[in-house]
Chains A and B, each alone.
Chain A
Amino acid sequence: MTDQSGIDTLQYLSGQTARHVRLQLASPSEIVNPLLFFLLVVILFPLGLGPDPERLALMAPGILWVVALLANLMICMRLFVDDFEDGSLEQLAMASTPLALSVIPQLLAAWMTGGLVLSLAAPLFGMMLGLPVSAVPVLVASLLMGTAIMLLLGAVGAALTVGVRRGGILLALLILPLYIPVLIAGTRALDEALHSGDPVVALAFLGAGVTGGLLLAPLAIAAGLRVSLEL
C-alpha cells in the first residue's frame, strides 16, 4: 500500500465515521435511551436490596458492570437494523471496499455515541451506589475498553440476527455467554482498585481483548452480514 492510498483509507474511514455519527445524532433518543436504561436499572438495586450504603458499595462493581453490559446489549440490538431495512447494507456490500473494512466506521460511530457516553456517565451512577472517588479512574478505563469489546462481539451477533424475526432476544442468547470474560475482567479491575490491589492485570486483559477483537471481529461481522443479506 502506498502512502497515497494510506491517506485515502484514513480519509474514507473518517468521512464514513462522521456520516454515521451525524445519522446517530439525527435521532438523539437512541443515544439517550441506553443511558436512561442504565440509570433506571441502577436505581432498582437500592430499592431491591435496601439502602444500606456499605452493602451497596460492596456490590457496586458488579451492579455497574452488569448494567453497563445490558445497556450495551440494547445498543447492539439496534446496530444494523436501520441499514438492513433501508437497503444501505446492500449498497455497502456491493461496494469495492471489503465489507470487513467498511463496517468499521459504523462500529466506531456506535461506540462514540454508545459505549463512550456510558463510560463517561458511569462515575455518576457509581457515586449513587457509594463507589469511592478513588475507584473512578479504573471504572472509566475498564468501561471504555469493555464497552468496545462488547460492541465488537455484539456486532457479530447483530450481523447474524439482523434478518431474523424477533432477533433481539436471540441476540441476547447468542452474545451474553461471550460477554462473561469481559464482565469478569471488568469487575476484577474494580475490585482490585477498591481493595488497594493492582488493577493493571485486569485492565491489560481488557486491552488485549480490544486489540484481538479489532483484528478478528470485523471478519466475523462481515461474514455474518453477508449471510443476512442472502435472505
Chain B
Amino acid sequence: MWRIIHQFGSPPWVYRFCDRVIPWLLPLTAVALIVGSAWGLLFAPTDYKQGDSYRIIYIHVPAAVVSLAGYYIMAFAGLVSLVWRIKLADLAMRAAAPIGAAFTAVALITGAIWGKPTWGAWWVWDARVTSMLILFFLYVGVIALFEAYDNKTIAARACAILSLVGTVNIPIIYKSVDWWYSLHQPASIKFTGSSAIDASMLYPLLGMIVAFYALFALLMMLNLKQSLTSEYAQSNWLIKRITT
C-alpha cells in the first residue's frame, strides 16, 4: 500500500511544495545574483596580469562548480529512485539533467570567451576544458536516453542506472584527462590552507557560487512543476489546483 502512496500521493505534494518554495527562492536568487555580480564586476579589484577580462570567472567558475555538483545531485536522486521507488526522486533526476547540461554549456562558452584574451585562442585542449566538455556529453547522454523511451517511468529507471555508472566514472575520467594533460593551472580555490586568489576577489566568487546553487534549485523546481503539469494534465488534483 505504501508504494501506491508513493506513486499516486507524491506528485500533488511535490507540486504544492514547489508552489510554496518558489516565492521565497525566486527573490533570494535574484538578490544573490545581483549582489554577487555587482560585487564581482564593480567592486572587486582588477587583476594585475589579466586586467578586467578575468572578471568572467564570476560566471565561469560558479557555472563549472554547479554543473559538476549537478551531476552528483542527479545521480543521487537516481539512486534514491532505484532503491526506494520514490516518484519525487525520479522527477528531480529528470529536472536536473537539462539544467546541469545548460550550466555546463555556460561554463564552456564563458571559458572560450575568457580563453581568447588569455590564451589567444577560443578553444584550447586544456585538461579542465576537456573534462567540462566530457561532462557535457555525459549530461547529453542521460537526456538522450530519457527521450528515447516512450514510457517515462521506465526511462527514469534507465537514466538512474546510467547516471550512477557515470558517477563512478567521472573521477576516473577527470584523473585520466589530468594525466593526459599534466600541464595545467593548479586548483586555485582551496578552503584549507593559503589561497592563491586574494580574499577581495574570492568573497564575491563564493557569493556567486552560492547564487548559482540557488539558481540551480530554482530552475529545478520550475522544471519539476512544468513536467508535472504536462504529465498529469488529465489528473483531477492538478485541474483542481490550477483552477482554484
- State the main secondary structure of chain A at its contact with B: helix
Q: Report if B138 contacts A (CB, 8 A).
A: yes
> Chain B, interface size: which category?
20 to 34
Given A170-B148, A177-B173, A178-B173, output 7 extra A-B contacts at Cβ < 8 Å.
A156-B162, A160-B158, A160-B162, A224-B161, A227-B157, A228-B158, A231-B154
Binds B, one of A11-19, A26-34, A117-125, A179-187: A179-187
Least CB separation from A185: chain B residue: B176
- Give the 4 A-B CB pairs with smallest separation, nearest first: A181-B176, A174-B141, A164-B148, A177-B137
- Interface status of A36 (Cβ within 8 A of chain B): no
The answer to whether A227 touches B154, judged by C-beta atoms less than 8 angstroms apart, is: yes
**Are the CB atoms of B145 and A174 closer together than 8 Å?**
yes
CB closest residue in chain A, given B130: A180
Q: Which residues of B contact A130 (CB under 8 A)?
A: none
Residue A223 lies at the interface, judged by CB distance under 8 Å to chain B: yes
For A184, give its contact among B82, B140, B151, B179 (CB under 8 Å): B179
Residues of A contacting B82 in the complex (Cβ-Cβ under 8 angstroms): 223
- Chain B: residues with CB nearer than 8 A to chain A? 82, 134, 137-138, 140-141, 144-145, 148-149, 151, 154, 157-158, 161-162, 164-166, 168-169, 172-173, 175-177, 179-180
Is A227 a contact partner of B140 (Cβ separation < 8 A)?
A: no
Residue of A nearest to B166 (CB): A178
> Main SS of the interface on chain B?
helix
Q: Quick one: closest B residue to A166, CB to CB?
A: B148
A23–B38 CA distance with the chains assembled, in angstroms: 67
Roughly how many angstroms separate A231 CA and B154 CA in the complex, as a whole number?
8
Cα distance A156–B165 in the bound complex, in angstroms: 9
CB of A169 to closest CB in B, whole Å: 9
Question: Which residue of the partner chain, among B144, B148, B161, contacts A220 with CB atoms under 8 Å?
Answer: B161
Fill in one digit per residue for A148-187: 1 if any B CB lies within 8 Å of its CB, else 0: 0000010011001100111100100110111011001100
Residue in B138, B161, B168, B176 whose beta carbon sits within 8 Å of that of A160 in the complex: B161
Q: How far is the CB of B241 from chain A (nearest CB, A)?
A: 31
Assembled-state Cα–Cα distance A174/B164 (Å): 13
Q: How far is the CA of A188 from the CA of B158 in the complex (A)?
A: 33
